[in-house]
Chains A and B, each alone.
Chain A
Amino acid sequence: MTGWLLAGGPVIPNFGRPSACLKRNGWFCTDWMGKHWGDTLQPALVQHIELTLVAVGIGFAIAFLLALVGFRWRIFDAPLGGLTDLLYAIPSIALFQLLVPLTGLTVTTVEIALTSYTLFILYRNILSGLRSVPDEVLESARGMGFTRLQTFVRVELPLAAPAILAGVRIATVATISIATVAAFLIQYGLGAPIFDAIETPDLFKTELLASGGLAILLALTADGLLAVVQRAVTPWNRLR
Protein backbone atom coordinates (compact mmCIF):
# COMPACT_ATOMS: atom_id res chain seq x y z
CA MET A 1 0.00 0.00 0.00
CA THR A 2 2.85 2.31 0.70
CA GLY A 3 4.81 1.49 -2.42
CA TRP A 4 3.94 4.57 -4.34
CA LEU A 5 4.92 6.87 -1.48
CA LEU A 6 8.50 5.74 -1.73
CA ALA A 7 8.72 6.72 -5.37
CA GLY A 8 9.10 10.36 -4.32
CA GLY A 9 7.91 13.24 -6.44
CA PRO A 10 4.34 14.36 -6.48
CA VAL A 11 1.98 12.18 -4.48
CA ILE A 12 -0.08 10.85 -7.29
CA PRO A 13 -1.32 7.32 -6.99
CA ASN A 14 0.31 5.15 -9.59
CA PHE A 15 -3.04 3.90 -10.81
CA GLY A 16 -3.26 7.05 -12.77
CA ARG A 17 -5.94 9.61 -12.38
CA PRO A 18 -8.52 8.73 -9.72
CA SER A 19 -11.86 7.96 -11.20
CA ALA A 20 -14.92 10.06 -10.45
CA CYS A 21 -16.11 7.30 -8.20
CA LEU A 22 -12.95 7.38 -6.09
CA LYS A 23 -13.01 11.17 -5.93
CA ARG A 24 -16.38 11.22 -4.27
CA ASN A 25 -15.29 8.22 -2.13
CA GLY A 26 -18.01 5.96 -3.49
CA TRP A 27 -18.91 2.56 -2.00
CA PHE A 28 -18.34 0.48 -5.07
CA CYS A 29 -15.53 1.73 -7.31
CA THR A 30 -14.83 -1.23 -9.56
CA ASP A 31 -11.76 0.39 -11.07
CA TRP A 32 -10.02 0.45 -7.67
CA MET A 33 -11.03 -3.13 -6.97
CA GLY A 34 -9.69 -4.27 -10.31
CA LYS A 35 -6.40 -2.43 -9.89
CA HIS A 36 -5.75 -3.63 -6.38
CA TRP A 37 -6.98 -7.19 -6.63
CA GLY A 38 -3.47 -8.36 -7.38
CA ASP A 39 -1.47 -6.30 -4.89
CA THR A 40 -3.88 -5.98 -1.98
CA LEU A 41 -7.03 -8.04 -1.99
CA GLN A 42 -5.84 -11.36 -3.30
CA PRO A 43 -2.75 -11.67 -1.07
CA ALA A 44 -4.84 -10.66 1.93
CA LEU A 45 -7.44 -13.28 1.04
CA VAL A 46 -4.80 -16.00 0.73
CA GLN A 47 -3.27 -15.00 4.05
CA HIS A 48 -6.70 -15.07 5.62
CA ILE A 49 -7.42 -18.56 4.39
CA GLU A 50 -4.08 -19.69 5.72
CA LEU A 51 -4.72 -18.14 9.13
CA THR A 52 -8.06 -19.89 9.33
CA LEU A 53 -6.94 -23.32 8.17
CA VAL A 54 -4.05 -23.45 10.60
CA ALA A 55 -6.09 -22.18 13.55
CA VAL A 56 -9.01 -24.57 12.97
CA GLY A 57 -6.68 -27.50 12.24
CA ILE A 58 -4.59 -27.10 15.37
CA GLY A 59 -7.65 -26.11 17.40
CA PHE A 60 -9.42 -29.28 16.31
CA ALA A 61 -6.50 -31.47 17.33
CA ILE A 62 -6.28 -29.87 20.76
CA ALA A 63 -10.04 -29.76 21.31
CA PHE A 64 -10.35 -33.40 20.31
CA LEU A 65 -7.76 -34.47 22.86
CA LEU A 66 -9.36 -32.33 25.55
CA ALA A 67 -12.80 -33.70 24.70
CA LEU A 68 -11.48 -37.26 24.91
CA VAL A 69 -10.19 -36.52 28.39
CA GLY A 70 -13.47 -34.89 29.41
CA PHE A 71 -15.40 -37.80 27.91
CA ARG A 72 -13.35 -40.53 29.53
CA TRP A 73 -13.01 -38.87 32.92
CA ARG A 74 -16.05 -36.82 33.74
CA ILE A 75 -14.37 -34.91 36.55
CA PHE A 76 -12.18 -33.12 34.01
CA ASP A 77 -15.15 -31.96 32.00
CA ALA A 78 -16.09 -28.93 34.11
CA PRO A 79 -12.54 -27.57 34.53
CA LEU A 80 -11.72 -28.02 30.84
CA GLY A 81 -15.03 -26.45 29.82
CA GLY A 82 -14.31 -23.56 32.20
CA LEU A 83 -10.85 -23.08 30.69
CA THR A 84 -12.17 -22.87 27.13
CA ASP A 85 -14.92 -20.52 28.39
CA LEU A 86 -12.29 -18.24 29.91
CA LEU A 87 -10.14 -18.24 26.77
CA TYR A 88 -13.19 -17.37 24.71
CA ALA A 89 -14.19 -14.56 27.06
CA ILE A 90 -10.84 -12.77 26.80
CA PRO A 91 -11.23 -10.15 24.08
CA SER A 92 -9.13 -10.74 21.02
CA ILE A 93 -7.39 -7.40 20.99
CA ALA A 94 -6.13 -8.01 24.52
CA LEU A 95 -5.09 -11.59 23.88
CA PHE A 96 -3.07 -10.54 20.83
CA GLN A 97 -1.16 -7.97 22.87
CA LEU A 98 -0.60 -10.30 25.78
CA LEU A 99 1.05 -12.81 23.51
CA VAL A 100 3.37 -10.27 21.89
CA PRO A 101 6.01 -10.37 24.66
CA LEU A 102 6.15 -14.16 24.21
CA THR A 103 5.95 -14.63 20.47
CA GLY A 104 6.45 -11.16 19.09
CA LEU A 105 4.58 -9.33 16.34
CA THR A 106 4.24 -12.49 14.31
CA VAL A 107 1.73 -14.68 12.60
CA THR A 108 2.38 -17.21 15.36
CA THR A 109 0.92 -14.80 17.91
CA VAL A 110 -2.19 -14.43 15.82
CA GLU A 111 -2.50 -18.18 15.32
CA ILE A 112 -2.22 -18.90 19.03
CA ALA A 113 -5.01 -16.47 19.80
CA LEU A 114 -7.24 -17.70 16.97
CA THR A 115 -6.64 -21.33 17.93
CA SER A 116 -7.58 -20.64 21.52
CA TYR A 117 -10.92 -19.21 20.39
CA THR A 118 -11.82 -22.30 18.36
CA LEU A 119 -11.44 -24.50 21.44
CA PHE A 120 -14.58 -23.12 23.05
CA ILE A 121 -16.86 -24.23 20.23
CA LEU A 122 -15.02 -27.39 19.23
CA TYR A 123 -14.63 -28.78 22.74
CA ARG A 124 -18.31 -28.41 23.49
CA ASN A 125 -19.52 -29.85 20.22
CA ILE A 126 -17.20 -32.82 20.21
CA LEU A 127 -18.10 -33.69 23.77
CA SER A 128 -21.84 -33.30 23.37
CA GLY A 129 -21.66 -35.33 20.16
CA LEU A 130 -19.86 -38.17 21.91
CA ARG A 131 -22.36 -38.06 24.75
CA SER A 132 -25.42 -38.01 22.50
CA VAL A 133 -25.34 -41.73 21.73
CA PRO A 134 -28.53 -43.31 23.10
CA ASP A 135 -28.12 -45.71 26.01
CA GLU A 136 -29.80 -48.59 24.24
CA VAL A 137 -27.36 -48.31 21.35
CA LEU A 138 -24.42 -48.45 23.74
CA GLU A 139 -26.00 -51.34 25.57
CA SER A 140 -26.47 -53.39 22.44
CA ALA A 141 -22.91 -52.65 21.41
CA ARG A 142 -21.70 -53.95 24.76
CA GLY A 143 -24.07 -56.88 24.55
CA MET A 144 -22.62 -57.79 21.17
CA GLY A 145 -19.17 -57.93 22.65
CA PHE A 146 -17.68 -54.65 21.43
CA THR A 147 -14.57 -53.67 23.31
CA ARG A 148 -14.39 -50.16 24.73
CA LEU A 149 -12.23 -49.08 21.77
CA GLN A 150 -14.53 -50.69 19.21
CA THR A 151 -17.53 -48.99 20.76
CA PHE A 152 -15.74 -45.68 20.51
CA VAL A 153 -14.47 -46.06 16.95
CA ARG A 154 -17.49 -47.78 15.42
CA VAL A 155 -20.38 -46.31 17.35
CA GLU A 156 -19.67 -43.21 19.39
CA LEU A 157 -17.39 -41.45 16.94
CA PRO A 158 -19.54 -41.87 13.81
CA LEU A 159 -22.66 -40.91 15.72
CA ALA A 160 -20.88 -37.83 17.04
CA ALA A 161 -19.81 -36.86 13.51
CA PRO A 162 -22.72 -34.50 12.79
CA ALA A 163 -22.16 -32.55 16.01
CA ILE A 164 -18.40 -32.50 15.47
CA LEU A 165 -18.73 -31.26 11.91
CA ALA A 166 -21.28 -28.67 12.99
CA GLY A 167 -18.67 -27.49 15.49
CA VAL A 168 -16.01 -27.32 12.80
CA ARG A 169 -18.38 -25.28 10.64
CA ILE A 170 -19.15 -22.76 13.36
CA ALA A 171 -15.52 -22.55 14.46
CA THR A 172 -14.31 -22.00 10.89
CA VAL A 173 -16.78 -19.23 10.18
CA ALA A 174 -16.13 -17.58 13.54
CA THR A 175 -12.37 -17.78 12.98
CA ILE A 176 -12.68 -16.10 9.58
CA SER A 177 -14.55 -13.31 11.29
CA ILE A 178 -12.23 -12.92 14.29
CA ALA A 179 -9.11 -13.17 12.12
CA THR A 180 -9.90 -9.72 10.76
CA VAL A 181 -8.99 -8.34 14.19
CA ALA A 182 -5.46 -9.69 13.72
CA ALA A 183 -4.63 -6.64 11.65
CA PHE A 184 -4.76 -4.65 14.87
CA LEU A 185 -1.42 -6.34 15.48
CA ILE A 186 0.20 -7.07 12.14
CA GLN A 187 -0.51 -6.32 8.50
CA TYR A 188 -1.90 -9.72 7.70
CA GLY A 189 -5.11 -11.13 6.29
CA LEU A 190 -8.25 -9.35 5.21
CA GLY A 191 -8.23 -7.30 8.38
CA ALA A 192 -5.33 -5.28 6.99
CA PRO A 193 -7.25 -3.56 4.17
CA ILE A 194 -10.26 -3.23 6.50
CA PHE A 195 -8.26 -1.39 9.16
CA ASP A 196 -6.55 0.56 6.42
CA ALA A 197 -9.90 1.70 5.08
CA ILE A 198 -11.32 2.60 8.48
CA GLU A 199 -8.20 4.54 9.47
CA THR A 200 -8.19 6.56 6.26
CA PRO A 201 -9.68 9.96 7.06
CA ASP A 202 -13.34 9.98 5.96
CA LEU A 203 -13.22 6.18 5.62
CA PHE A 204 -12.08 4.61 2.37
CA LYS A 205 -15.47 3.14 1.49
CA THR A 206 -14.61 1.05 -1.55
CA GLU A 207 -11.71 -0.63 0.21
CA LEU A 208 -13.86 -1.35 3.27
CA LEU A 209 -16.64 -2.83 1.20
CA ALA A 210 -14.31 -4.88 -0.98
CA SER A 211 -12.25 -6.37 1.84
CA GLY A 212 -15.14 -6.75 4.28
CA GLY A 213 -17.20 -8.28 1.50
CA LEU A 214 -14.42 -10.73 0.72
CA ALA A 215 -14.30 -11.80 4.36
CA ILE A 216 -18.05 -12.44 4.36
CA LEU A 217 -17.87 -14.26 1.05
CA LEU A 218 -15.03 -16.43 2.32
CA ALA A 219 -17.00 -17.30 5.45
CA LEU A 220 -20.15 -18.15 3.52
CA THR A 221 -18.21 -20.29 1.06
CA ALA A 222 -16.49 -22.17 3.86
CA ASP A 223 -19.85 -22.65 5.58
CA GLY A 224 -21.42 -23.98 2.40
CA LEU A 225 -18.55 -26.35 1.64
CA LEU A 226 -18.55 -27.76 5.15
CA ALA A 227 -22.31 -28.17 4.98
CA VAL A 228 -21.86 -30.32 1.90
CA VAL A 229 -19.18 -32.39 3.64
CA GLN A 230 -21.43 -32.78 6.67
CA ARG A 231 -24.25 -34.15 4.56
CA ALA A 232 -21.96 -36.42 2.60
CA VAL A 233 -20.42 -38.17 5.58
CA THR A 234 -23.61 -38.65 7.60
CA PRO A 235 -26.02 -40.30 5.17
CA TRP A 236 -28.22 -41.65 7.98
CA ASN A 237 -28.97 -38.10 9.03
CA ARG A 238 -30.37 -37.13 5.69
CA LEU A 239 -33.61 -38.97 6.27
CA ARG A 240 -36.72 -37.14 7.33
Chain B
Amino acid sequence: MPSAAAELVFDEATKVYPGREGAAVDHLSLTVPAGEICVLVGPSGGGKTTALKLVNRLIPLTGGDIRIDGTSILDHDLVELRRSIGYVIQQVGLFPHMTIEANIGTVPKLLGRDRKWIRRRVAELLELVGLDPDKDRKRFPAELSGGQRQRVGLARALAANPSLMLMDEPFGAIDPIVRARLQDEFLRLQHELRKTVVFVTHDIDEAIKLGDRIAILREGGRLAQYDTPQRILEQPVDDFVADFVGRDRALKALSLRTLGDLEPTSAAGDGLPRLPAETNLRDALAVLIAEHREALVVVGADGRALGVVKREDLLR
Protein backbone atom coordinates (compact mmCIF):
# COMPACT_ATOMS: atom_id res chain seq x y z
CA MET B 1 0.00 0.00 0.00
CA PRO B 2 1.38 3.40 -0.94
CA SER B 3 2.17 5.57 2.00
CA ALA B 4 5.21 7.79 1.60
CA ALA B 5 4.38 11.09 -0.06
CA ALA B 6 4.83 11.25 -3.80
CA GLU B 7 6.21 13.96 -6.03
CA LEU B 8 3.66 15.24 -8.55
CA VAL B 9 4.71 16.79 -11.84
CA PHE B 10 2.48 18.52 -14.38
CA ASP B 11 4.39 18.51 -17.64
CA GLU B 12 2.77 20.74 -20.26
CA ALA B 13 -0.55 19.21 -19.20
CA THR B 14 -3.30 20.39 -21.54
CA LYS B 15 -7.04 19.87 -21.69
CA VAL B 16 -9.29 20.95 -24.52
CA TYR B 17 -12.91 19.91 -24.02
CA PRO B 18 -14.33 18.48 -27.22
CA GLY B 19 -16.49 21.00 -29.07
CA ARG B 20 -15.13 23.94 -27.09
CA GLU B 21 -12.91 26.68 -28.31
CA GLY B 22 -9.71 27.22 -26.41
CA ALA B 23 -8.16 25.11 -23.70
CA ALA B 24 -9.50 24.69 -20.17
CA VAL B 25 -5.97 23.89 -18.99
CA ASP B 26 -3.20 25.19 -21.19
CA HIS B 27 0.32 23.72 -21.13
CA LEU B 28 0.41 23.64 -17.36
CA SER B 29 3.83 22.81 -15.97
CA LEU B 30 4.60 22.71 -12.29
CA THR B 31 6.15 20.40 -9.74
CA VAL B 32 4.68 19.69 -6.32
CA PRO B 33 7.50 18.35 -4.12
CA ALA B 34 6.68 15.31 -2.01
CA GLY B 35 4.95 16.17 1.25
CA GLU B 36 3.94 19.72 0.27
CA ILE B 37 0.59 21.41 -0.13
CA CYS B 38 0.12 23.05 -3.50
CA VAL B 39 -2.91 25.32 -3.67
CA LEU B 40 -4.51 26.05 -7.04
CA VAL B 41 -6.31 29.39 -7.09
CA GLY B 42 -7.81 31.48 -9.81
CA PRO B 43 -11.02 33.00 -11.10
CA SER B 44 -14.12 30.88 -11.61
CA GLY B 45 -13.79 28.90 -14.81
CA GLY B 46 -10.02 29.19 -14.63
CA GLY B 47 -9.53 25.46 -15.00
CA LYS B 48 -8.71 24.53 -11.40
CA THR B 49 -11.16 21.65 -11.15
CA THR B 50 -10.13 20.46 -14.58
CA ALA B 51 -6.45 20.45 -13.65
CA LEU B 52 -7.23 18.47 -10.51
CA LYS B 53 -9.35 15.84 -12.25
CA LEU B 54 -6.68 15.34 -14.88
CA VAL B 55 -4.52 13.84 -12.14
CA ASN B 56 -6.84 10.97 -11.22
CA ARG B 57 -7.98 10.72 -14.81
CA LEU B 58 -11.59 11.58 -14.12
CA ILE B 59 -10.90 13.79 -17.14
CA PRO B 60 -8.57 12.47 -19.84
CA LEU B 61 -5.54 14.54 -20.82
CA THR B 62 -5.54 16.09 -24.26
CA GLY B 63 -1.81 16.72 -24.33
CA GLY B 64 1.30 16.76 -22.19
CA ASP B 65 1.80 14.45 -19.24
CA ILE B 66 1.35 14.17 -15.50
CA ARG B 67 3.78 12.07 -13.48
CA ILE B 68 3.57 10.71 -9.97
CA ASP B 69 7.01 9.80 -8.61
CA GLY B 70 8.29 9.79 -12.14
CA THR B 71 5.67 7.43 -13.58
CA SER B 72 3.16 8.83 -16.04
CA ILE B 73 -0.44 8.52 -14.86
CA LEU B 74 -1.15 6.97 -18.23
CA ASP B 75 1.11 4.05 -17.35
CA HIS B 76 -0.81 3.28 -14.17
CA ASP B 77 -3.76 0.94 -14.09
CA LEU B 78 -6.75 3.31 -13.90
CA VAL B 79 -8.36 1.64 -10.90
CA GLU B 80 -5.11 1.31 -8.97
CA LEU B 81 -4.23 4.90 -9.74
CA ARG B 82 -7.49 6.16 -8.27
CA ARG B 83 -7.31 3.95 -5.23
CA SER B 84 -3.87 5.28 -4.45
CA ILE B 85 -5.06 8.89 -4.61
CA GLY B 86 -7.31 10.46 -1.97
CA TYR B 87 -10.05 12.58 -3.51
CA VAL B 88 -12.19 15.10 -1.61
CA ILE B 89 -14.80 17.35 -3.20
CA GLN B 90 -16.95 20.22 -2.00
CA GLN B 91 -20.22 18.26 -2.21
CA VAL B 92 -18.39 15.50 -0.31
CA GLY B 93 -20.24 12.75 -2.15
CA LEU B 94 -20.62 10.43 0.81
CA PHE B 95 -22.61 7.31 0.00
CA PRO B 96 -25.98 8.05 1.59
CA HIS B 97 -26.87 4.36 1.95
CA MET B 98 -23.78 3.47 3.96
CA THR B 99 -22.93 4.21 7.56
CA ILE B 100 -20.01 6.47 8.33
CA GLU B 101 -17.94 3.42 9.08
CA ALA B 102 -18.79 1.76 5.78
CA ASN B 103 -18.11 4.99 3.92
CA ILE B 104 -14.65 5.35 5.37
CA GLY B 105 -13.90 1.66 4.96
CA THR B 106 -14.89 1.56 1.29
CA VAL B 107 -11.48 1.55 -0.35
CA PRO B 108 -9.74 -0.68 2.23
CA LYS B 109 -12.56 -3.14 1.69
CA LEU B 110 -12.09 -3.01 -2.06
CA LEU B 111 -8.41 -3.62 -1.43
CA GLY B 112 -9.32 -6.76 0.48
CA ARG B 113 -8.45 -5.65 4.01
CA ASP B 114 -10.01 -7.78 6.74
CA ARG B 115 -12.82 -6.52 8.89
CA LYS B 116 -10.80 -6.12 12.05
CA TRP B 117 -8.17 -4.05 10.29
CA ILE B 118 -10.87 -1.82 8.82
CA ARG B 119 -12.57 -1.34 12.17
CA ARG B 120 -9.33 -0.22 13.75
CA ARG B 121 -8.47 2.04 10.85
CA VAL B 122 -11.92 3.67 10.91
CA ALA B 123 -11.67 4.38 14.62
CA GLU B 124 -8.21 5.82 14.15
CA LEU B 125 -9.32 8.05 11.28
CA LEU B 126 -12.47 9.26 13.03
CA GLU B 127 -10.35 10.30 15.95
CA LEU B 128 -7.87 11.94 13.62
CA VAL B 129 -10.52 14.14 12.01
CA GLY B 130 -12.13 14.99 15.33
CA LEU B 131 -15.21 12.77 15.34
CA ASP B 132 -16.28 10.35 18.03
CA PRO B 133 -15.46 6.76 16.95
CA ASP B 134 -18.05 5.22 19.28
CA LYS B 135 -20.93 7.56 18.70
CA ASP B 136 -20.53 8.43 15.05
CA ARG B 137 -19.45 5.25 13.27
CA LYS B 138 -22.94 3.74 12.96
CA ARG B 139 -24.67 6.92 11.84
CA PHE B 140 -25.72 7.70 8.29
CA PRO B 141 -24.48 10.78 6.41
CA ALA B 142 -27.92 12.40 6.59
CA GLU B 143 -27.54 12.57 10.37
CA LEU B 144 -24.40 14.71 10.25
CA SER B 145 -23.84 18.45 9.89
CA GLY B 146 -22.09 19.84 6.83
CA GLY B 147 -18.82 20.22 8.69
CA GLN B 148 -19.00 16.70 10.07
CA ARG B 149 -19.72 15.31 6.63
CA GLN B 150 -16.68 17.07 5.27
CA ARG B 151 -14.55 15.50 8.03
CA VAL B 152 -15.87 12.07 7.09
CA GLY B 153 -15.04 12.85 3.46
CA LEU B 154 -11.49 13.64 4.50
CA ALA B 155 -11.26 10.49 6.61
CA ARG B 156 -12.55 8.42 3.71
CA ALA B 157 -9.95 9.89 1.38
CA LEU B 158 -7.21 9.08 3.90
CA ALA B 159 -8.42 5.54 4.56
CA ALA B 160 -6.14 3.72 2.16
CA ASN B 161 -3.20 5.86 3.21
CA PRO B 162 -2.76 7.51 -0.18
CA SER B 163 0.50 9.16 -1.12
CA LEU B 164 -1.33 11.98 -2.88
CA MET B 165 -4.49 13.90 -1.97
CA LEU B 166 -6.62 15.90 -4.37
CA MET B 167 -9.02 18.33 -2.71
CA ASP B 168 -11.49 20.46 -4.66
CA GLU B 169 -12.83 23.32 -2.53
CA PRO B 170 -13.37 20.93 0.38
CA PHE B 171 -14.31 23.71 2.77
CA GLY B 172 -16.16 25.84 0.21
CA ALA B 173 -19.69 25.23 1.48
CA ILE B 174 -18.95 25.60 5.18
CA ASP B 175 -19.49 28.66 7.33
CA PRO B 176 -16.38 30.78 8.09
CA ILE B 177 -15.98 29.77 11.72
CA VAL B 178 -16.17 26.04 11.12
CA ARG B 179 -14.06 26.51 7.99
CA ALA B 180 -11.30 28.16 9.97
CA ARG B 181 -11.38 25.30 12.44
CA LEU B 182 -11.25 22.69 9.69
CA GLN B 183 -8.34 24.54 8.09
CA ASP B 184 -6.43 24.50 11.38
CA GLU B 185 -7.14 20.82 11.86
CA PHE B 186 -6.14 20.10 8.32
CA LEU B 187 -2.80 21.83 8.89
CA ARG B 188 -2.29 19.89 12.11
CA LEU B 189 -3.07 16.65 10.25
CA GLN B 190 -0.74 17.54 7.43
CA HIS B 191 1.98 18.24 9.96
CA GLU B 192 1.60 14.65 11.13
CA LEU B 193 0.92 12.89 7.84
CA ARG B 194 3.02 14.84 5.35
CA LYS B 195 1.02 13.95 2.28
CA THR B 196 1.46 15.56 -1.08
CA VAL B 197 -1.68 17.64 -1.49
CA VAL B 198 -3.20 19.54 -4.38
CA PHE B 199 -5.84 21.82 -2.94
CA VAL B 200 -8.23 23.88 -5.04
CA THR B 201 -9.87 27.02 -3.72
CA HIS B 202 -10.91 30.39 -5.03
CA ASP B 203 -10.30 32.01 -1.67
CA ILE B 204 -6.87 33.64 -1.69
CA ASP B 205 -6.79 33.84 2.09
CA GLU B 206 -7.31 30.11 2.35
CA ALA B 207 -4.55 29.61 -0.22
CA ILE B 208 -2.14 31.77 1.80
CA LYS B 209 -3.01 30.00 5.01
CA LEU B 210 -2.71 26.45 3.73
CA GLY B 211 -0.30 26.49 0.82
CA ASP B 212 3.38 25.69 0.89
CA ARG B 213 3.17 26.90 -2.68
CA ILE B 214 0.42 28.63 -4.59
CA ALA B 215 -0.32 28.24 -8.28
CA ILE B 216 -2.42 31.07 -9.69
CA LEU B 217 -4.28 30.18 -12.87
CA ARG B 218 -5.76 32.79 -15.17
CA GLU B 219 -8.69 32.32 -17.57
CA GLY B 220 -7.99 29.66 -20.14
CA GLY B 221 -6.07 27.57 -17.64
CA ARG B 222 -2.72 29.31 -18.08
CA LEU B 223 -0.36 29.47 -15.13
CA ALA B 224 0.18 33.04 -14.02
CA GLN B 225 2.57 32.43 -11.13
CA TYR B 226 3.74 29.49 -9.07
CA ASP B 227 5.52 30.44 -5.89
CA THR B 228 5.52 30.42 -2.12
CA PRO B 229 2.80 32.57 -0.52
CA GLN B 230 5.45 34.98 0.61
CA ARG B 231 6.80 35.62 -2.87
CA ILE B 232 3.33 35.74 -4.42
CA LEU B 233 2.40 38.48 -1.99
CA GLU B 234 5.63 40.37 -2.11
CA GLN B 235 6.57 39.99 -5.74
CA PRO B 236 3.50 39.38 -7.91
CA VAL B 237 4.74 38.84 -11.47
CA ASP B 238 2.10 40.99 -13.15
CA ASP B 239 -1.05 43.07 -12.66
CA PHE B 240 -3.30 40.03 -12.92
CA VAL B 241 -1.65 38.38 -9.95
CA ALA B 242 -1.41 41.64 -8.02
CA ASP B 243 -5.11 42.25 -8.60
CA PHE B 244 -5.96 38.71 -7.67
CA VAL B 245 -4.18 38.75 -4.35
CA GLY B 246 -5.70 42.14 -3.60
CA ARG B 247 -4.62 45.65 -2.61
CA ASP B 248 -4.11 44.49 0.94
CA ARG B 249 -1.39 42.05 -0.05
CA ALA B 250 1.08 43.78 2.24
CA LEU B 251 -1.24 43.08 5.14
CA LYS B 252 -1.77 39.51 3.98
CA ALA B 253 1.97 39.04 3.90
CA LEU B 254 2.00 40.00 7.57
CA SER B 255 -0.29 37.07 8.33
CA LEU B 256 2.43 34.66 7.19
CA ARG B 257 4.63 35.41 10.21
CA THR B 258 3.93 35.19 13.90
CA LEU B 259 5.12 37.16 16.91
CA GLY B 260 7.31 34.19 17.75
CA ASP B 261 9.30 34.84 14.57
CA LEU B 262 10.37 38.27 15.89
CA GLU B 263 12.97 39.05 18.48
CA PRO B 264 11.29 40.79 21.40
CA THR B 265 13.28 43.35 23.43
CA SER B 266 13.32 43.28 27.20
CA ALA B 267 11.77 46.70 27.71
CA ALA B 268 9.15 47.29 30.42
CA GLY B 269 5.76 46.02 29.35
CA ASP B 270 3.45 47.29 32.07
CA GLY B 271 -0.10 48.02 30.88
CA LEU B 272 0.64 46.91 27.28
CA PRO B 273 -1.62 44.39 25.46
CA ARG B 274 -0.41 40.80 25.95
CA LEU B 275 -0.55 38.40 22.98
CA PRO B 276 0.55 34.76 22.62
CA ALA B 277 3.63 34.09 20.50
CA GLU B 278 1.66 32.18 17.84
CA THR B 279 -0.46 35.28 16.98
CA ASN B 280 0.26 36.32 13.40
CA LEU B 281 1.63 39.80 12.73
CA ARG B 282 -1.51 40.94 10.95
CA ASP B 283 -3.72 40.21 13.95
CA ALA B 284 -1.13 41.74 16.29
CA LEU B 285 -1.15 44.95 14.23
CA ALA B 286 -4.95 45.00 14.32
CA VAL B 287 -4.82 44.85 18.12
CA LEU B 288 -2.33 47.73 18.32
CA ILE B 289 -4.50 49.86 16.04
CA ALA B 290 -7.67 49.07 17.95
CA GLU B 291 -6.10 49.85 21.32
CA HIS B 292 -4.10 52.86 20.14
CA ARG B 293 -0.83 51.38 21.36
CA GLU B 294 2.67 51.44 20.00
CA ALA B 295 3.93 48.17 21.51
CA LEU B 296 2.79 44.85 22.95
CA VAL B 297 3.99 42.05 25.19
CA VAL B 298 4.63 38.62 23.63
CA VAL B 299 3.58 35.76 25.91
CA GLY B 300 4.99 32.25 25.69
CA ALA B 301 3.08 29.02 25.92
CA ASP B 302 3.70 28.85 29.67
CA GLY B 303 2.08 32.28 30.12
CA ARG B 304 5.34 34.09 30.87
CA ALA B 305 6.23 37.30 29.06
CA LEU B 306 8.93 36.79 26.40
CA GLY B 307 9.45 40.48 25.84
CA VAL B 308 8.08 43.55 24.10
CA VAL B 309 7.58 44.16 20.39
CA LYS B 310 7.09 47.64 18.88
CA ARG B 311 4.76 48.57 16.08
CA GLU B 312 7.60 49.28 13.67
CA ASP B 313 9.09 45.83 14.40
CA LEU B 314 5.93 44.32 13.02
CA LEU B 315 6.18 46.25 9.79
CA ARG B 316 9.83 45.73 9.16
Whether chains A and B associate is: yes
Binding site for B on A (CB under 8 A): 134, 136-147, 150, 154-155, 158-159, 161, 234-236, 239-240
Contacting pair B106 A159 (CB below 8 A): no
Contacting pair A136 B142 (CB below 8 A): no
Of the candidates A136, A139, A143, A236, which one forms a contact with B97 in the assembled complex, judged by CB atoms under 8 Å apart? A236
Report chain B residues within 8 Å CB of A141.
Answer: 93, 95
In whole angstroms, what is the CA distance A3 to B12 when docked?
90
- Of the listed stretches B84-92, B122-130, B287-295, name the one at the interface; the rest are far from the partner chain: B84-92
Residue B94 interfacial (CB < 8 Å):
yes
Which 6 A-B pairs rank lowest in CB-CB distance, beginning with the nearest? Answer: A140-B93, A145-B82, A143-B87, A136-B91, A145-B83, A136-B93
Among residues of B, the one whose C-beta sits closest to the C-beta of A240 is B142
CB<8 Å pairs between A and B, sample of 30: A136-B92, A136-B93, A137-B93, A137-B94, A137-B95, A138-B93, A139-B58, A140-B87, A140-B89, A140-B93, A140-B94, A141-B93, A142-B58, A144-B83, A144-B87, A144-B106, A144-B107, A144-B110, A145-B79, A145-B83, A146-B79, A158-B97, A159-B95, A159-B96, A161-B97, A234-B97, A236-B96, A236-B97, A236-B140, A240-B142
Report chain A residues within 8 Å CB of B140.
Answer: 235-236, 239
| CB interface residues, B 172-191, toward A, < 8 Å | none
Q: Contacts A136-B91, A236-B142 hold; do A144 and B82 have CB atoms under 8 A apart?
A: yes
CB distance from B152 to the nearest CB of A (A): 11
Residue B143 interfacial (CB < 8 Å):
yes
CB distance from A82 to the nearest CB of B (A): 30
Residue B81 interfacial (CB < 8 Å):
yes
Contacting pair A145 B97 (CB below 8 A): no
Report chain A residues within 8 Å CB of B78.
Answer: 145
Report chain A residues within 8 Å CB of B110.
Answer: 144-146, 150
